[in-house]
Structure 1
Amino acid sequence: MSLTLTPNIANADDFYAELLAIHEGRSKAESDALNARLILILANHIGDRAVLREALAAASQVANEET
C-alpha cells in the first residue's frame, strides 16, 4: 500500500464542513487536542507504518514549503 495524495474523499466539501463544525466553539488548545486524537485514530485505522511514514514526510514537506 502507498500513500494516496490525489483527491479520494466523496463529497470532500461536506467532509471539510464537518471537520470545521467539530471545532466550532472550542479553544485553540481544545482544537489542537481534537486534531491530535483524530490523527491517532486515523493512523491506527491505516495501520501501515510505511504509509504513515510517507504521510509524515508529505506533511513535513508541505509545511517546509509554506515557510
Structure 2
Amino acid sequence: MTALAAGSSEALLREIADRMAVRRLVDLYARYADRRDAKGQAALFAEDAPTRATPRTVSPSSFSRAVPS
C-alpha cells in the first residue's frame, strides 16, 4: 500500500522525499559514469560498502587511482 492509499500526508511527503533522493542518486551515478569518474561514483556509496572498478569500465589512467591497492 502506498502512502497515498494510507491517507497520511506525512507518509506521502516522506515517500516523495525518498523517491527524489533515489532519483538524485541515480542521476549523479549516471553523470559520473558518463565522465568515467570512478572516484565520484564510489563516493556515492557508504564508506564501508565494497566497490570494484575494472579496466573495462575505467580509463587506464584513472584505474590505478580508483582502485585501492
Q: TM (normalized to structure 2)?
A: 0.38
Higher relative contact order (CA 8 A, sep 6+): 1
Larger Rg: 2
Greater share of helix: 1
